[in-house]
Amino acid sequence: MVLPGDNADHGLPAQYALASTALKMLSTPIHAIPGDHDMEQGGLDAFYAADFTEPLPKALTVRGIHCLFLDISGPGTGGPDFRVGTDQASWVELELRKAKEREETSVLFMHSYPDDLKGDGETEAFNRLIATHDVAFVDMGHTHYNELANDGRTIFAATRSTGQIEEGPAGYSIVTLDGGVVSWRFKPLDDAFPFVVMPTQIRPSMVRARCMRWCSAIGSSKLSHAKPRRRMDCYDPFV
């Protein structure tokens, strides 16, 4: 489970303690990255003192998927001053290169889009890294809207994970990578089960037809399937 940043609204120790209490009810590993709200006290001391966080950046490989968890808030001055920093950028490049040599698929977890990076030349350099090393998926927070973007190679996604967004109820997304295919689906907290994701490689026409049938049957709000150079969306016709 990944927390994509803004874990505490004002970055206060009491807020992290509340989050920690809630997370103790889960049996899955927790991976948290910071956001601009975590920086509201002028730094990330309270974030890194929480018992559900670890030093960043960090790398984790799960079944051939190389996951990089980044801190783009700490190197900045707070607010939307997102930066990677020289040391972290070098680390990311090394990790992506090693993953490509091992023929692993890479995914990144960072709080905002690379286009939001404020360091001199960081946006261009980071986008080149993503393209050069065939990063399949970038997962983000910050906007906390359900967003999917595709630059022709990489899928970028954000999730409506807080209750402050007028778009609808908060929830979580489940992402799968199957043979290079990225599948993403959002689950509102108040939506009933069952909950189905189709992580499989099938023809676009089959995806479209099956999506319409499955969405009608299970009440899906949105289901998306994307190949590295194509994204296909499925919308519930009854929403």
Structural domains of the chain, ranges and CATH numbers in brackets: 2-142 (3.60.21.10), 171-239 (no CATH)
pLDDT at 86 over 80: yes
Residue with tokens 């993403």: 184
Structure tokens at 231: 């994204």
Residue 203 has pLDDT above 80, yes or no: no
**Separation in Å, CA 1 to CA 65, 147, 154, 216:** 15, 19, 21, 28
> What is the pLDDT, as a whole number, of residue 87?
97
- pLDDT at position 35 over 80: yes
Contact yes or no for 79/39 (Cβ under 8 A):
yes
Angle among Cα 164, 169, 170 to the nearest 5 degrees reads 70
Amino acid symbol at 113:
Y
Q: How confident is the model at residue 234 (pLDDT cuts 50, 70, 90)?
A: very low
Q: Is the pLDDT of residue 214 over 70?
A: no
Q: For residue 88, is pLDDT > 50?
A: yes
Per-residue pLDDT at 235: 32
Query: Among residues 19, 35, 29, 87, which one has the least CA distance to residue 60?
Result: 29
With cut-offs at 50, 70 and 90, classify the pLDDT of residue 202: low
The phi, psi pair for 182, rounded to 5°, reads -95, 125
Could you count the other beta carbons within 10 Å of the beta carbon of residue 68? Answer: 22
- Measure the CA–CA gap between 169 and 191, rounded to whole angstroms: 9
Q: How many residues does the chain have?
A: 239
Q: How far apart are the first and last CA of the chain?
A: 28
State pLDDT tens for residues 178-189: 888 899 999 999
Query: In this structure, what token pair is assigned to residue 219?
Result: 């009440």
Q: Per-residue pLDDT averaged across 131-152, rounded?
A: 94
Residue pair 34/44 in contact (Cβ under 8 Å)? The answer is yes
User: Global pTM?
Assistant: 0.84
Give residue-wise pLDDT tens across range 96-135.
999 999 999 999 999 999 999 999 999 999 999 999 999 9
Query: Residue 39, SS3?
Result: helix
> Helix (H, G, I), strand (E, B), or coil: what is residue 3?
strand
d(CA 51, CA 54): 8
